[in-house]
Structure 1
Amino acid sequence: MKKTSTPFALIAVLCLVNPVRAEKDKSPKPIESSISSGLEVLTQPVNALAGEKFTIVTKPRLGFREGSKMYQLEQPIATFIESFGPAEKITSQTIETGFLAHTKTHYYINDGILITENKDGVLVGIIFRMSATKAMLSAKVKTAEGITSGASLREITKIYGVPFKKIEHSLLGYLSTKIHYKYADDVISFEFRDGKLENIGLAAQYLPYLQQ
């Protein structure tokens, strides 16, 4: 009878899936079962494997938690950076009016977070990117109520109720939908792009502009 050899690529897959030495494995799994199990692990979403890293909270005011550390709106940016760490990129706005006038944005590219400070060095904005782009990874984040990447407009309104304000407009060929909720003088916003959740934003000192 002619012997057949196992292709090298298949051997490599089996070693990754079932890394037990051949001489010690008295009852090897069927090849089909081993490959299937390995592919299931390899094709899981990154967030499902790693879990959420940040949790958005509403009490005592809007902010987020990383482990035991809490970060809130309107804290000094220097205090935030001292605890959370420096950003990979910082940009400055030179516009004279509006919420973003004379602000700086700190891009935490690998965390998927944008932090905005005003001209007085106070943290006034936090944006969590829910979808990765070429320039920034997505944030591994959920709200305390369980809203995370992939949440629908229906699910959000079911939990948070009727929004304080809803804004829709077409931009560069896609439909942008933003729903805003008030928490005292702070605002939490959920932004959709063509029906897909793109950003979750937290803002202080933004309510006057939203009411215009």
Structure 2
Amino acid sequence: MTKIESVAGTAIPLLLDDIDTDRIIPARFLRCVTFEGLGEHAFEDDRIQDPDHPFDKPEFQNASILIGGRNFGCGSSREHAPQSLIRWGIKAIIAESYAEIFFGNCTSLGVPAVSASRETLEKLDQAVKANPEQEISVDLLAMKIRCGDQEFDCTLPDNARSALTSGTYDFLAQLLKSTDEIKERAAAVPYFTSFA
């Protein structure tokens, strides 16, 4: 698996609190068999209601870092939410805080979801709106966000940081990679092999 030590790119500002998963990807799109095509529906209902939504603005169409607010990804548990953001082009999220399940889904999909202070988010929001071409980087080794000549602290729980930077964030891939070890362990455990 790929080690994720940093993510760099332009950003899209969505500095709102309590963005729930139904806003990220409306429930009617959860019936899909695969996640392909979900990116075009990210924030669809919000975009219909707000013709000036950042996800529709041409200057943010190639953004790979999303700037959010407090409690990002709250609401119902659905892997479709981070999957739709990934398919839209998002590779990292910077927000004040996250709903626990959304955060876990992001981590297991290789999307760093770092936290930053409100003051930092407001400065990033202003910088991105003033210059949408401004590159931002999220450095998971130094735990820093860089934007032009500005540098900000960010946080990420140690277990998520370790999983991302070591490339062990995809638990299914880890299991598949360890098939021989799993079979060996199961063969050595009596209650798996000795049914009488």
Report TM bin, short chain: under 0.3
Larger radius of gyration: 1
Q: Which has the higher strand share?
A: 1
